[in-house]
């Protein structure tokens, strides 16, 4: 496992990226760019031993929460 300071800084970077992702709209190109950045960041963190597979699942769950919130605010009533 990576040293604790690396883990803390990388998880903080993920949190900043997730926050920026949450500020975008699915219609924007930046939304899709941040989605890709977050996905690759999770994979990289796991491959480098910064997080475990359980940690990766937790980060994916955080992403899904943002995506669900976006879908809820952008869907029109039918």
Q: What are phi and psi for residue 12, nearest 5 degrees?
A: -65, -40
pLDDT reported for residue 70: 85
Round to whole Å and give the CA distance between 3 and 14: 17
* Model confidence pTM above 0.75: yes
**What are the residue ranges spanned by the domains of the chain?**
4-69
Instruction: Check pLDDT > 60 for residue 78.
Output: no
Biggest alpha carbon–alpha carbon distance for the chain: 51
More confident residue, 21 or 77: 21
Instruction: Report the C-alpha gap between 72 and 53 in whole angstroms.
Output: 28
How far apart are alpha carbons 64 and 76 in whole angstroms?
20
| DSSP 8-state assignment for residue 73 | H
Q: Using one digit for the tens of pLDDT, what is the confidence trace for 36-65?
A: 999 999 999 999 999 999 999 999 999 999
């Amino acid at each position: 496992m990576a040293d604790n300071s690396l883990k803390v800084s990388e998880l903080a970077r993920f949190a900043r990226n997730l926050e920026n992702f949450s500020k975008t709209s699915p219609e924007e190109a930046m939304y899709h760019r941040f989605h890709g950045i977050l996905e690759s960041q999770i994979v990289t963190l796991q491959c480098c031993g910064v997080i475990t597979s359980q940690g990766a699942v937790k980060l994916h769950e955080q992403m899904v929460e943002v995506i669900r919130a976006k879908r809820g605010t952008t869907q029109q009533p039918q």
